[in-house]
């Protein structure tokens, strides 16, 4: 009897998912434990594995939006065919498309037999005379999907097509990207967002990291990064200004007495904010380990919905991309978000003399409905004090 493939529940508030990619074509044998399907929701993407070995049949197609619990395929159990080997993740990515590449003009001259693409993508490419080596894949590990081929054709690719005079790219937004867009717009509309700024001399933090790094790595197996130090400084700021560790629910102000702080992580599918739990109870090494684990799973699509929920405050580091100054957007229902930025050497006045110091701009965006300007400034001043005196703040947390 065939075993049904159903879309699993991935969170109480999520009612549907999109079929992002089938990793095996319909009618092909799949082994138990093989990844056969990637689904996307408005919060996370998730890979589904075959529970047993057998012949796979697709019911839903790539790009379809289906309800949680819906049957999207089936597996007819059977023994593996002779010579079968369990598929392994591909390591080579498809060749990137060139902006002004000339596409093969006849289907008969195109050989897509060895292309890393879904079966549907290969079929459409062969019919339309598209050379898949010219198509940039957006699927798992660079696999070319049906949407990639259709987009390529819509932009002037395919048999007999010349170079487009003004090349463009058109791509349907993923469920995750649509949710991010809605989330950010709603944040701007529902909160009275205001930003205030300060700057911090990072000399002592940089000196501390350089001094303890070798012993820290030897003892804990991870590097002492800036983020764990910043989270500890944010902790002190939230203790100093409890109003920022609060949120509005209806006509009530709910103050949180715990410190679960979100850390924004950039992925190729958008920004996600996993939450580091109990920052007040963890050492810097434990925080760094949590961040590395979250970042790895987020970028490989393995992050879970529970990892993204329950934060009281968020820290985002635009400095890793070269940002000098920004005004980050609050992550509702939180009331504040801290933006870190590039460290740049600048002339500053110290004890009446101009010296060169590694400086970072700090930006706090906050909900002015619940946080006053005085509280926002107090928070940033406390943050500056902690970061410019890290040894005093951290104590034995580096041990």
CA angle 315, 296, 146 (to 5 degrees): 110
368 labelled catalytic = yes
372 labelled catalytic = yes
Q: Return d(Cα 266, Cα 295) in angstroms, integer.
A: 8
Report the DSSP pairing between strands 65-67 and 246-249: unpaired
Q: Which of 46, 47, 44 is nearest to 272 (CA)?
A: 44
Q: Which of 328, 234, 18 is nearest to 147 (CA)?
A: 18
Residue 251 CB coordination number (10 Å): 5
Give residue 287's region: left, alpha or beta (phi > 0; psi -120 to 50).
alpha
Pick the catalytic residue: 183, 204, 220, 368? 368
Q: Which of 377, 258, 230 is nearest to 315 (CA)?
A: 230
3-state secondary structure of 103: coil
Report the DSSP pairing between strands 353-367 and 336-340: antiparallel
Q: Rounded to 5 degrees, what are φ and ψ at 92?
A: -95, 130
153-160: long-range contacts at Cβ-Cβ below 8 A with a sequence spacing of 24 or more? 153/128, 156/103, 157/103, 157/130, 158/103, 158/128, 158/129, 158/130, 159/103, 159/104, 159/105, 159/106, 159/107, 159/128, 159/129, 159/130, 160/105, 160/106, 160/129
Report the DSSP pairing between strands 54-58 and 71-77: antiparallel
**Residue 265 contacts residue 272 (beta carbons within 8 Å):** yes
Pick the catalytic residue: 201, 280, 372, 399? 372
Q: Return d(Cα 264, Cα 243) in angstroms, integer.
A: 22
**Residue 56 contacts residue 27 (beta carbons within 8 Å):** yes
**Residue 238 contacts residue 258 (beta carbons within 8 Å):** no
Torsion 367-372-373-378 (CA) sign: negative
Q: Return d(Cα 107, Cα 127) in angstroms, integer.
A: 7
Q: Which residues are catalytic?
A: 368, 372
């Amino acid at each position: 009897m065939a075993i049904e493939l159903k879309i699993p529940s991935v969170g109480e508030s999520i009612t549907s998912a999109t079929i992002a990619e089938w990793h095996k074509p319909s009618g092909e044998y799949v082994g138990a434990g093989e990844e056969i399907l990637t689904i996307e929701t408005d919060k996370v993407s998730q890979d589904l594995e075959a529970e047993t070995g057998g012949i796979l049949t697709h019911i839903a197609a790539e790009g379809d939006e289906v309800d949680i619990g819906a049957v999207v395929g089936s597996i007819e159990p059977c023994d593996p065919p002779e010579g079968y080997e369990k598929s392994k993740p591909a390591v080579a990515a498809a060749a990137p498309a060139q902006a002004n590449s000339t596409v093969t003009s006849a289907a008969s001259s195109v050989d897509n037999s060895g292309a890393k693409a879904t079966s549907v993508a290969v079929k459409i490419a062969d019919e339309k005379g598209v050379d898949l080596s010219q198509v940039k894949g957006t699927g798992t590990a660079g696999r070319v999907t049906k949407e990639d081929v259709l987009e390529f054709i819509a932009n002037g690719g395919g048999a007999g097509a010349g170079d487009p005079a003004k090349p463009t790219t058109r791509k349907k937004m993923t469920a995750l990207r649509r949710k991010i867009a809605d989330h950010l717009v709603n944040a701007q509309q529902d909160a009275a967002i205001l930003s205030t700024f300060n700057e911090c001399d990072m000399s002592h933090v940089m000196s501390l990291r350089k001094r303890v790094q070798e012993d820290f790595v030897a003892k804990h197996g991870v590097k002492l990064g800036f983020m764990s130090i910043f989270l500890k400084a944010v902790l002190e700021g939230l203790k100093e200004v409890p109003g920022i560790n609060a949120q509005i629910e209806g006509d009530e102000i709910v103050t949180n007495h715990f410190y679960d702080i979100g850390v924004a992580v950039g992925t190729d599918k958008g920004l996600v904010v996993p939450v580091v739990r109990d920052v007040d109870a963890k050492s810097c090494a434990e925080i760094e380990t949590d961040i590395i684990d979250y970042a790895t799973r987020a970028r490989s699509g393995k992050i879970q919905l529970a990892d993204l929920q329950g934060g009281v405050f968020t820290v985002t580091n635009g400095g890793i991309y070269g940002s000098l100054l920004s005004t980050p957007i609050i992550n509702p229902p939180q009331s504040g978000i801290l933006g870190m930025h590039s460290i740049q050497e600048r002339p500053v006045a110290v004890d009446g003399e101009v010296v060169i110091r590694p400086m970072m701009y700090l930006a706090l965006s906050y909900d002015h409905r619940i946080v006053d300007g005085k509280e926002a400034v107090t928070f940033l001043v406390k943050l500056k004090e902690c970061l410019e005196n890290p040894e005093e703040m951290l104590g034995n947390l580096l041990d």
